[in-house]
Chains A and B, each alone.
Chain A
Amino acid sequence: MAEHTVKAFDEDITRLRGLIAEMGGLAEVALQDALEAMARGDETLADKVVAGDKKIDALESEVDKLAVRIIALRAPMADDLREVIAALKIAGVVERIGDYSKNIARRIGQIEDRKRFEPLTLLPAMGELAGEMVHDVLTAYAARDPDLALEVIEADNKVDAFYDSIFRNLVSHMVENPATISSAAQLLFVARNIERIGDHATNVAEMVHFAATGVYPPDDDD
């Protein structure tokens, strides 16, 4: 991006982007820790994830304040405005990703008899994919790379396919072992949360694409 005559504007934008990167880093770790806690049944790690979400929320309000200040003081136009608006929206979505990770962490204590759950082996693989999407989309944001953003959007299909597969798997598991229904239902929610994280990563990818090129990526399905 070309430099502005008002240096302070560049400083503000850089700081705004830095804050979002920091938020993203926290959300990424929250997701990873939540998944690890789930795989190991580690409730202390899960509690850490729940507690860590406050930091993400605090950063989001910092982004909000800064973005509003930039708009009020500098009245940015064209791609500058796009940048600020995108930052504002991305911060909201990243915060949601943090929330979903928190939700996953919260459910860990409620899954009983984890050893016997076959679907538990599929969830980490799905989480891995979603985590990769979050990682890639944050890198795409940092690099203003619309192509990487498109790749993230494409990757969402894989997460959706995983979700369908896990859903079927869990439903048949419930039919066969009615005693485990409540735990299986929890896992269903976990899978759902991961799927939503994938969708949110896709949203961010669309905004990154928009901020970089000014057009929303084409919808290839439906």
Chain B
Amino acid sequence: MGEVMDSGSEQPIGPILIAAIACIALALFGVGLATVAGVFIVWVGSIFLANARPPQIESQPDTDIISSKSMGKLIKHSAAPLLVIEGGKVTLASRSAQRLLGKHIIGQDVRMAFRQPQAIKLLNKQKSGLAIIKGLARRRDIWRMKLQKIDTSMSVIELTSLTAEADISRAHTDFVANASHELRTPLASIIGYVETLREDGTGLDSNTSKKFLETIHREAQRLEALVSDLMSLSRIEAEKHDEPSDIIEFGKLIEQSARDAAGADRLDRVKFEIDDTLQIKGDAQQIEQLVRNLTDNALKYGDPEKPVSLQLAEGKEGQARFTVTDRGAGIDPQHLPHLTRRFYRTDPGRSRAAGGTGLGLAIVKHIVERHRGRLDIESQLGEGTSVIVRIPAVAGEVDQVS
């Protein structure tokens, strides 16, 4: 106590003076001296006590502030998705958890955040444990959920993503199955022509052998395009789960990449309508590839006499909406659901003749997915096709650029 008194600032002269004046006034009003003296002593004593207390009172809630407020802060900034559950409701969630499950979960029944049966089983068990849950935020993701009981009503949930590991094995088998077929076709014709040339190289007239060599050259180029597309596809897939963090000027990038894709001879067909204030978080190289693929598709499959329009505007709820529209034959609606599948072609002959690998839209789809966006294709037979890419735009406020 003495120590606390010492640490207390100056002597409380003001209050003592007030007490003295009040007691003198009491004495003047004719109250007994003994009573006045008693009142004065009690008053002054209480002033000293009150004066001594503040540091103590301050230190008391101080520990409380540490435990609740800074726990909230601690959890809020944790990189791993963390949630605190109290009495069946989510009371705290780290920013990463809010990004994963939505901001609405705070204050809601915990089942709003975790509706997966395995998760509910773990939550109902009323003790610490682990569960593997599928389809938490997106449909194909896999998470490990670790529940730690703190006391009877409170528990902490920690989430770890296992999606990437599970994906690798699946992607691998798909890749081998599809790619080997597509790679074999051009190889077969290269080998065939080379064998013909080698066997009767002297017997062929120069025109025919020239034609053969051209075919070999074309097929080899196709193989090269295919291999490079496959490589970028697998690269994008590998990175699918890390959200890009660079801020890029979407409009500027679109113009530049579309010009590259069109080349000098097709550039006059490209019409831009770009809102160049929009920024997105993205991987510049991949976005460039996305724009290039879409522009090239539109130029290739649209009517060669008609323009192709590239539009960038602000869409609903802060999204950047990028639309590529061509006017031409359009796509039969029955093909629409399959367009983004690898090696799917509406007209194999035409696509191959135009030098397509069958991977362009699959690459676009993967890029869009990595950027947490959406890809939609609308088409009207005989009118043309619109490909719409929506990617969350970076809001004006500089929120979490770091």
In whole angstroms, how far apart are the Cα atoms of A132 and B115 in the complex? 15
**Most chain-B CB neighbours within 10 Å: which of A14, A19, A24?**
A14
Given A125-B341, A135-B139, residue A144 in contact with residue B111 (CB < 8 A)? no
B-side contacts of A129, CB under 8 Å = 337
> How far is A165 from B112 in the complex, measured between Cα atoms in Å?
36
CA distance A28 to B341 in the complex (A): 24
Q: Does B399 contact A (CB under 8 A)?
A: no
Contact A161 B333 (CB under 8 A): yes
Would you call A15 an interface residue if the criterion is a C-beta within 8 Å of the partner chain's C-beta atoms? yes
Say yes or no: is B32 at the interface (Cβ < 8 Å to chain A): no
By the criterion CB–CB under 8 Å, are B334 and A21 in contact? Answer: no
Question: Contact mask A144-167 → B, CB, 8 Å, 1/0?
Answer: 110100010000001001101100
A92 CB-CB contact with B under 8 Å: no
- Most chain B CB within a 10 A radius of its CB, from A21, A132, A138, A147: A21
State which of B59-67, B71-79, B101-109, B143-151 sits at the interface with chain A: B101-109
Complex CA gap A126/B338 in Å reads 10
8 tightest A-B CB contacts, nearest first: A18-B109, A25-B115, A18-B111, A21-B115, A165-B334, A142-B112, A143-B104, A21-B111
Nearest chain B residue, comparing its CB with the CB of A29: B117
- Chain B residue with the shortest CB-CB distance to A131: B139
Is A19 a contact of B337 with CB atoms below 8 Å? no
- A22 close to B (CB within 8 Å): yes
Which residues of chain A are within 8 angstroms of B104 by Cβ–Cβ distance?
142-145
CB distance from A144 to the nearest CB of B (A): 7
Question: B333 near A17 (CB under 8 angstroms)?
Answer: no
Q: Are B112 and A18 in contact (CB under 8 A)?
A: yes
| CB interface residues, A 100-137, toward B, < 8 Å | 125-126, 128-129, 131-132, 135
The docked-state distance in angstroms from the alpha carbon of A210 to that of B341 is 35
Q: How far is the CA of A179 from the CA of B93 in the complex (A)?
A: 58
Q: Is B316 an interface position by the 8 A CB rule? A: yes
Residue B116, interface by CB 8 Å: yes
For B113, list chain A residues within 8 Å (CB).
Answer: 142
- Measured in the bound complex, the distance between the Cα atoms of B71 and A170 in whole Å is 59
Chain B residues whose C-beta falls within 8 Å of the C-beta of A26 in the assembled complex: 117
Min C-beta distance of A59 to chain B, whole Å = 10
Q: Which of A126, A132, A144, A151 contacts B139 (CB 8 A)?
A: A132
Contacts A29-B134, A145-B104, A165-B337 aside, 14 further interface pairs with beta carbons under 8 A come to: A18-B109, A19-B111, A21-B112, A21-B115, A22-B115, A25-B117, A28-B135, A125-B341, A135-B135, A135-B138, A142-B113, A151-B374, A158-B336, A165-B334
Query: Does any Cβ of B come within 8 Å of A139's Cβ?
Result: yes
Residue on A nearest B104 in the bound complex, by CB: A143
Contact of A138 among B115, B134, B336 (CB under 8 A): B115
**Can you sample 7 A-B contacts with CB below 8 Å?**
A17-B112, A24-B115, A25-B115, A25-B117, A158-B337, A161-B333, A165-B334
Interface check B89, CB cutoff 8 A: yes
A193 at the B interface (CB under 8 A): no
Q: Is A40 an interface residue (CB 8 A)?
A: no
A164 and B317 contact, CB distance less than 8 A = no
Give complex CA distance A103, B336 in Å.
27
Q: In the complex, what distance in Å separates the CA atom of A161 from the CA atom of B336?
A: 8
**Which chain A residue has the least Cβ–Cβ distance from B113?**
A142
Flag if B108 contacts A126 (CB, 8 Å). no
Contact (Cβ within 8 A) A18 B139 = no
Q: Is B299 an interface residue (CB 8 A)?
A: no
Asked whether, in the complex, the Cβ of A14 is within 8 Å of the Cβ of B117, the reply is no
Interface string of B104-129 (1 = CB under 8 A from A): 11001111111111011000000000
What separation, in Å, do the CA atoms of A29 and B333 have in the docked complex?
30
**Chain A residues, CB < 8 A from B114:** 25
From known contacts A22-B115, A142-B104, infer whether A14 and B316 are also in contact, taking CB-CB under 8 Å: no
A28 touches B102 (CB 8 A): no
Residues of B43-90 at the interface with A, using a CB-CB cut-off of 8 Å, are 88-89
Cβ of A28: which chain B residues have Cβ within 8 Å of it? Answer: 115-116, 135
Q: How long is the Cα–Cα vector from A35 to B336 in the complex, in angstroms?
A: 22
A158 nearest CB neighbor, chain B only: B337
- In the complex, residue of chain A having the shortest beta-carbon distance to the beta carbon of B390: A151
With the chains together, A131 CA to B135 CA distance in Å? Answer: 10
A181 CB → nearest B CB, Å: 22
- Would A22 and B111 count as touching, CB distance under 8 A? yes
